[in-house]
Amino acid sequence: GQNIDQPTEMTATEGAIVQINCTYQTSGFNGLFWYQQHAGEAPTFLSYNVLDGLEEKGRFSSFLSRSKGYSYLLLKELQMKDSASYLCAVRGYQKVTFGIGTKLQVIP
Amino acid sequence: DARVTQTPRHKVTEMGQEVTMRCQPILGHNTVFWYRQTMMQGLELLAYFRNRAPLDDSGMPKDRFSAEMPDATLATLKIQPSEPRDSAVYFCADSAGHSTDTQYFGPGTRLTVL
């Protein structure tokens, strides 16, 4: 099975940098996704990591360490519109399992 | 801009009533998922289909829930009879290929069972 842990909530200041961590224990691992979900809306794809290291995409970066069962999502130059939940999801052999999500609040 | 669509967007019903939720996947996307999301449990996979065939419905309470895909443009999730604990947001999602590819989510159906 899959077990995914993320902090429930985080608060950060506009313009700052925030790191959202995700740890997982899994019986099978083929990659890790990050999704963003604004309140009342559907999750949308942000990033995908299958190899160790950092993937950068604009203000957002995602890091993976397979040996440590660890990933993080890094958000730079935070904007108010980044207030949302961020879901870590592990890709197994047959399906994707989502974490409960980290609710990020960006304050002025 | 192709999107997954879901109807209805909101549904309020009384305990014991049948509820049917519908999903139209993106044309050509042949893997379709049904999820339930609550504050306590997060996003839970209920069932998924590939090329209209059910592949995994282990996350779905079999006694009251059923999922079908009568054709490539329609997936349905039914609850009969509904119970207050079924209150949640139900998302349909799809992917272009394998069940572990990037998923595209519909807007969801917010279900309230009184």
User: What pLDDT is recorded for position B22?
Assistant: 98
User: What pLDDT is recorded for position B4?
Assistant: 96
Whether residue B43 and residue A43 make contact (CB cut-off 8 A), yes or no, is: yes
The region, left, alpha or beta by phi > 0 then psi within -120 to 50, assigned to residue B30 is: alpha
What is the token pair recorded at A73?
């999502």
Average pLDDT over residues B72-100: 93
Q: Are B111 and B86 in contact (CB under 8 A)?
A: yes
Give the tens place of pLDDT for each residue, A7-38.
999 999 999 999 999 999 988 888 999 999 99
What is the token pair recorded at B37?
């999301």
Measured on CA atoms in the order B101, A79, A102, B93, is the torsion positive or negative?
negative
Which position has the higher pLDDT, B101 or A87?
A: A87
Pick from A92, A98, A101: CB nearest B100: A92
Amino acid identity of A91? R
Give the tens place of pLDDT for each residue, B25-35.
999 999 999 99
Average pLDDT over residues B55-74: 91
User: What pLDDT is recorded for position A1?
Assistant: 66
What CA–CA distance (Å, rounded) separates A81 from A83?
5
Distance set, CA A56 to CA A44, A81, A87, B7, B39 (Å): 17, 19, 18, 36, 30
Angle subtended at Cα B15 by Cα B12 and Cα B20, rounded to the nearest 5 degrees: 55
A-B contacts (CB, under 8 Å): 47
pLDDT band at B40 (very low <50, low <70, confident <90, very high): confident
Q: For residue A39, how many other CB atoms are within 10 A of its CB? A: 8
What CA–CA distance (Å, rounded) separates A78 from B33?
32
Interface test with B, best of A35, A95, A97, A103 (most B CBs within 10 A): A95
Burial of A45 (0-12, 13-18, 19+ CB in 10 A): middle
Q: Residue B108: pLDDT above 80?
A: yes
Q: Residue A95: pLDDT above 90?
A: no
Angle subtended at Cα A84 by Cα A82 and Cα A86, rounded to the nearest 5 degrees: 105
Average pLDDT, chain B: 93
What CA–CA distance (Å, rounded) separates B69 from B49?
8
User: How many Å separate Cα B56 from the centre of its chain?
Assistant: 13
Chain A interface includes B58 (CB < 8 A):
no
Average pLDDT over residues B41-61: 90
Distance set, CA B5 to CA A95, B32, B79 (Å): 22, 12, 19
Average pLDDT over residues B47-68: 91
Q: Residue A42: pLDDT above 70?
A: yes
Chain B residue numbers touching A44 (CB-CB < 8 A): 105
User: What pLDDT is recorded for position B62?
Assistant: 87
**Nearest chain B CA: its distance from A103 CA (Å):** 11
Q: Residue B92: pLDDT above 80?
A: yes
Q: Residue A94: pLDDT above 90?
A: no
Q: Residue A2: pLDDT above 80?
A: no
User: What pLDDT is recorded for position A27?
Assistant: 81
DSSP B16-32: T--EEEEEEPPTT--EE
